[in-house]
Structure formats: C-alpha cells, structure tokens
Structure 1
C-alpha cells in the first residue's frame, strides 16, 4: 500500500517546501511506503514566527476551556483514525501490531488526560503583610519545539504536545526522518479539529539535521522537548545555550533488572522477556541488564535462554510474530557488531542472527563480568541483554547504579522491605517492583544523571511548559478610622 505524501504544516496549511520528496521505507521488507517533503531552515523560521505571533496575539494562552476542547477533539480524531494509524505504524516503524495498538490506546488516553488538566492549571496566593497580596500565577512558557523520535512516533509526539497545549503554549513539531508518514497522519487529526486556531500547532519535516538545528537556534522558540539519545540531548543543550531555552529532555537508558534469590523466577522471566524485547529492545526503558544473584544464576539462565530463544521474530503485521524488526538495516548491522563485541569481551549464551530479508535480528544474551565495559555502560538499543551477577544487596545497588544513566530499573523479590530499600537506593526515575515497562499517563517518567532533565506524563508533565509569575498588590489597610 502507498500512503499520501507527508507535507509540512504551517499556519493551518499544508506546504511542500522547496526540496524534492524523499522515500519512506518499510523496514520489514524494504518496500517504499510513500514520500515526504523535507523541511528547511527557512520553513522552521516561518513556522516559529507563526507560532510566536499566534501565541502573542490570540487568546489561546488564557483560554483553558478552549485548550481542553481542542485536546478532546484531537483524542476523538485519533480514536477514529486508530486502525489506519496502527497499520501505518506497523508498516513504517516495523513494530508488532499489538505494540502499535498499545501505542495508539496510550496516546488517546494521554491526550484526554491532559485535556482534563488544561482546566486545572492552578497558582496560589498569600497575604505577606496586612493588605499586601502576592499572586503566583502559572502561565504558558511560549513557543515549544517538540522533537519526536521514531520508536513511538505517536505516543512520544502526544506525550509532549498534549501538556504543551494544555499549558497554553503554541508549538512547532519535528518528526523523525524514519516515520514521517505516521506523523503526517497524526497532524491530519489535528487539522480536523474544528476548535483549533490556525498557527497553534505547526510541523516541519526533517532534512538531515538542518531542521532540528534551526529549531534549537531559533529566537522565537522558548522550550525544547526532546526524546532521544543522551548524545543528541547534549548537542541540543549546547545549541540552546545562546538563547537560554528551557529544556525538557528524556534521554538514554540502561535499565537494570535486579533478580534476588527469593524472586518468582518464572514471573521474572515472563516480565523480562517482554520488558527486554518490546519494540525489539528499541525503547529507552527496556530491560538492558539482568543483575542476578549468584545463587540463582544457573536457574535463571536455564529459564531465560529458552524464553528468548522461543520468541518468533517476523513482520509486525504477522499475527504469529512476537518481535518485530529494527528500524533499518543500518541498525541491524550495528547490533551485529555489538554481538561480535559481546563474544570478545564476555560469553555469548544466545547469539542473535539476522533473518534473510528485512531489518530483523533474533535476541542475544551474554554474560559479562567487566563493569567497565562499554557493553555495560552504553545504551545498545536493540534485542541484546547482558547478564551480570551479585552476591549481596550492597553489590546489587552498586552495580545497578554503575552507569551514567538513571531512567528506569526493576527489582524482583518477594521481600517487600527489600523491594522498598532497593527502590530508594537505585538512582532512577522509575523503579518497577516485580514488573517491567509499566507506563501510564498519570505517572511521571524521567531520568537521573544523563537520562535527562524534567518529567513527562502526570501533573508534573505540565511544568516544563509553564512559567510562574509573581503579581504583587499593596492594597493597604487603614485601622481605627471612625
């Protein structure tokens, strides 16, 4: 199936731009799905200027009921387009249909969640002295640039856009170059919202790195919300410094899963097979390191290896597939190189293999003892997981906290006190107990260390898009008058 061309969207109009269209490819079979029109620095400047003008000259930022109405309309249109978007996500991203369905349901839920919060952006007041009143008002920060990754092109779009709109910001959005057709369909849902004023949400397709760099440098943009690698996050931070933009960054992860001797091993294996291989491991909170107590290492490996080995890898549209493709052939080759490195530096337990066609690779498990290895420290972002051991709780904490990342972790134990001690000791924004990869609109996510700045989801998801303004009134009080 060939999908409609993905154009840029500025001031409520679809724009091709000056560049020739580029192909979007299905990673499962290499077929061309459609075309997108790359953006440019000039289009970013135009979109940012439109967003700035709309923010300053309309009542959008002061109209919480309008913002809520728009978000409810957006959710309704996402729901109406759900099946079409699921098919497109599977085709353009390569993930399983079930994963795509989950992505759409989560996106719809999140949009409605922030529609509700749009009408409850509250400040506070105080009387600091008789007749002296301070009002702390929460106001929209301005124009938000939202840079969307490819691994969850709807969820991670909505996760930033919905709170930005709920807060009263206007926006310029950049999709990932790998998933422009999915993004364009989401933008069509927005375009169909009858209450959305033109210019509130604008979108410019990527063209190499030109569009992202122009967004970071633009003086018309106040906030950047980015989900992606820590390396790119650092570049964004440096590029945003001259204009002192506010940053909301959810970056890389290296999630440890800590398995204690009293854990339900069958339950842990079930959770971690899914938690490590969901989206072919191409998710920043995926379980990337199995930290196993030495006394149960052999037992755990005897269960996790056949579980990984049994996972059927294949096209996301095939109902029998249990893991989809990587995003492209380049990443397949990268993972093959990591597998070779794992064999050199550690011990391969299960060796991943490419399939005959498409960007597929089967899961890999390897043992490693070197806590200084790049395989332990760096985000691998694929279906490749290390197994490391520990002897006591203190060593488990040390190893769990050994990397520069702190996005997520999980702990498997029947001892509630130990579970709570570990959740306190592990420096990560999310710690799951006897589970992995539970994400919900109401619960904040974000990272410690080099896993990011700020929080997304939940009430705190609004904070990066809001400013606090102090309004002071000295009304005066007269005592003792007749």
Structure 2
C-alpha cells in the first residue's frame, strides 16, 4: 500500500516530476500511500489523446473488440478483487464486506456491458416508396468521467463500462480521497490486450482544476458525474459553454415509508441496513424514516434498539458492521449537525465519536418541521430523521417534500397500496419491502435535483450514444 498513484495518458504512466501527496486511512489517520496531483494542462493533454484515439483507431466501429475488452476488464478486476477490496477498506474506511461487494459489482457491470456492446442497433423507416431513413446509434465521442470517493470502484465502472460499450474513449478524474484504489483499477486495465492505448486516460487531482478543465474542454463531448447536487449544478453551468452532454447522479434524501400493516421485523432490518451503508455516506441510503402514527412508538423502540446494536469500527475487523467517515473534517461537520438536531428536534439516539479514527456511531432524531434544512438537505452520514404521518396522502406529501428524488422505499403487505404509493412517490427508484437493491441490469437515476439521465441497465448507454439520420433514395425495382 505504499505505491504512488500516477496519471495514465495514452497507455503510459506519468508523474511529470511533481511531488506526491499522501493518502490517509480514515480509520487511524495513517498515510498509506501517495499520489501525484494533476493540473489543467494534463487534463487537456489527456482529452486530446482520447479524441485522437476516438478518431483514428477502430475502437468506435468495433463492437466485438469493445465487448472483448470489457470482458478482459471484468476478468482482471475479478483476479485482483482481494487487493482492491483491501485498498477500499484502507483508503475509504468502509467495512470489508461492503468493499468486496462493491468490487464484485464492478465485475458484474463490466460483464453486463460487454454483452450490450454487441447489441447496439439502429432502425430503418421507409418514408415513401423508394425513400429510406436509416437511424444509426453511434458513439458520442470522448467521455469525461468524474468519480466520487464513497464508492470508487462501482461508481467508476458504472460510467466507464457503458461509455466503452458505446464506443467512446475516456478521460477519468478519480477522487482525491481514493487515488490508490483507482490506480489499482487502472493497473487492471493496463493488462487488457484488447484495450487500445488512448481509449482510457486518467488524471489525479487534489482540487478542482482538472475537473474544471474537463468540463470546459472542446475535446470532451460528454461528462458523467456522480456527486453532490451543488457541484452538479456547477458542472452543468460550465458545460453549457460548449453545449456538451451532461449525465448527473446527484444527492438524495431517501425516505422509507412504513405503513401499519408492514412486516415490522423486516422493515426494521431493511431500514437499519439502509441507513448505514458506507457509514451513511451514500446517496440512496435511508435518510428519513416516515412511520404511520398508529405504530410510531412501537417502531421507534424497535429501530432504536436495532441501530444502537450496530458495531462501529475499523473495516478490517469482520465483527464491525459500520466503518469510518471519510475524514475528520466530515466527522466534525456531522457532529455539528447532531448538535443542531438536538436543539431543533427530539433526540432518539445520539451519535458519538470514537476516540481514534474518523468514526461516528449512528444518530436518530424526530423532527416535525418538514421545512427544516435538517430534513431538506442531504446530511451524508449515519443520521436519519424519524417522522410520522396519518394517511397515504400525507405519507406521499412528506416523501415528496424535498428537492431530491433519487430513491425511496415502501413497507406494506398491501400490494395495491404498494403500487399506489410507489407510483405517487417522485423518485427514480422505489423499493417495496426492501431498501438498497442495486444491480447492473436495473437503471438508477433521479428526479428533481437528484440528477439527469440514467446509469445501469440498457438506458445507461444513452448518455454515450448519438442518433444519426441517414436519408437514402435507392428507388424502386422497375421504377
């Protein structure tokens, strides 16, 4: 874990003589490795290399080559899964089961899009006798992929795999908090013989200059970004100057709605699991628990006991169920929010910082003011609000009361109610009697300020494809 993460441009590793920066384990504050920070000039160079690879290589016109490369990527990630998962634990702070699950999700994603790469089809329409309109689906060009720190494997591959399947070439900016994980993935890609040089390029960063250069670049045709809604708005604004396409998966404030007829044991289990993935640092994590007033007291006691029993600690200890916050600054931010919640609401379970590392135990608090920014804003930590409702209409109103619409869950044994409420909730994903079920075949994305476009599934290709109309007048036989 002492390797230095470098840039990767045109099939070559680069450091350009720049002094490295340290990457820190949030569980103990120790420097576990180093990375070379990049700059706007390197981002521009990588974009030019990716454009040349798109225009001059056979990549965009060779679906079988792309499928083979994606299968090789999947095999390489699978072979390195233990190394990658260990790095995720060390650099991101999550527990190892989550780290391995994330890594294997990246393998699955690569294999899924390897299949789709060979099934990108156009259509034909005969608009009049002897006059044909042909509609081709073509790669959009160079895709810029900006990766967050909270799931550095999955959230890279879920953009990279469809981009490659579509025929795009790419420039990637990994998160400054997880450069070693990213470098290990890039190591895997360098071992794939079917992946031409220049198709995948990567520039590290410790600030915003690389990302800004990618958004502004005339050589980059698509930006795929996962992160906060605030940053997503800035990216969309910057991209407007070149009118490049932007795919954004942004913040969330996922409600879990519990009706009186729900299987309460299952609801408690699913919601507890849903609050705490990646220590709550996940855009689809349960952030709001909405419970019918007739069962509120009973459910509060159940969920408090279940969440309080969660063991928090270093991710390399298999007994621990929740890992670290990404860094001490974010833990301090969350502690400040908990202090505010204690003043503005009724504390059910107060989170505590552990003595060592960026650890924080879970927090639950009741709040009645839906307009409070503690309800409205994404907190991004192991914190959930507890709110009550009287009927379906109020449940839906409260679920839809924020600007976000990424995910939600509904707990009821009434199938008709499940369908009614799921249809009425404004969210890109609604789970019924479950929370946090994600897989390559099913699209994810948001309503409102949770983003634009979809990732995963067949629609995940859409951001990386253009439709071309070719008109042709072959005439008629004997005409």
Cα distance in 2 for partners of 1:108, 1:72 equals 9
Report deviation, 1:476. 1.7
**Contact persistence 1:3–1:181 (CA under 8 A):** no
Q: Which residue of 2 aligns with 1:226?
A: 225
RMSD: 0.8
How far apart are 1:456 and its partner, in Å? 0.1
- Is the Cα contact below 8 Å between 1:17 and 1:38 reproduced in 2? no
In 2: Cα distance, 1:3 partner to 1:420 partner: 52
Cross-structure match for 1:311: 310
Q: How many residue pairs are counted as aligned between the two chains?
A: 479
Quote the residue 1:24 is aligned against.
Answer: 23
Question: Superposed, which structure 2 residues align to 1:124-139 within 5 Å?
Answer: 124-139=123-138
Give, in whole Å, the separation in 2 of the partners of 1:451 and 1:264.
30
C-alpha separation between the residues in 2 aligned to 1:204 and 1:277? 31
Aligned-partner Cα distance in 1 for 2:371–2:39: 42
Pairwise CA distance, 1:182: 0.2
For 2:338, the equivalent position in structure 1 comes to 339
Secondary structure of 2:164's counterpart equals helix
**TM-score of the superposed pair, with normalisation by structure 2:** 0.99
Aligned residue in 2 for 1:150: 149
Q: Which residue of 1 aligns with 2:174?
A: 175
1:259 is aligned to 258
Q: Does 1:102 align with 2:78?
A: no
- Structure 1: how far apart are the matches of 2:227 and 2:477? 59
- Counterparts of 1:476 and 1:306 in 2: how far apart (Å)? 76
| Deviation for aligned residue 1:18 | 4.4
Counterpart residue number, 1:188 = 187
Q: Could you give the per-residue CA deviations for residues 194-238 of structure 1, whole angstroms, max 9, x where no partner exists? A: 111100000000131111111111110000000000000000001
Q: 1:40·1:207 contact (CA, 8 Å) conserved in 2? A: no
Q: What is the aligned partner in structure 2 of residue 361 from structure 1?
A: 360
Matched, 1:288 2:294: no
- Corresponding position: 1:473 with 2:472: yes
How far, CA to CA, are the matches of 1:276 and 1:195 in structure 2? 41
Contact 1:147–1:224 (CA under 8 A) maintained in structure 2: yes
Mapped partners of 1:454, 1:123: distance in 2: 20
| 2:112 aligned partner | 113
> 2:269 matched to which residue of 1?
270
Q: Residue 378 of structure 2 aligns to a residue in which SS?
A: coil
Distance 1:317 1:282 in 2: 18
Query: Structure 1-normalised TM-score?
Result: 0.99
Alignment partner of 1:421 is 2:407: no
In the TM superposition, residue 20 of structure 1 has moved relative to its aligned partner by: 1.3
Structure 2: distance between partners of 1:170 and 1:427:
34
Q: String of CA shifts for 1:159-217, please: whole Å, max 9, x gaps.
A: 00000000000000000000000000000100110111100000000131111111111
- 1:341-380 CA-to-partner distances (Å, cap 9, x unmatched) read 1011101110000000000000000000001100000000
- Corresponding residue for residue 61 of structure 2: 62
What's the offset of the Cα at 1:105? Answer: 1.1
* Conserved 8 A contact 1:444-1:460: yes
Cα distance in 2 between the residues matched to 1:207 and 1:337:
25
Unaligned stretches of 5+ in structure 2?
none
What is the aligned partner in structure 2 of residue 445 from structure 1? 444
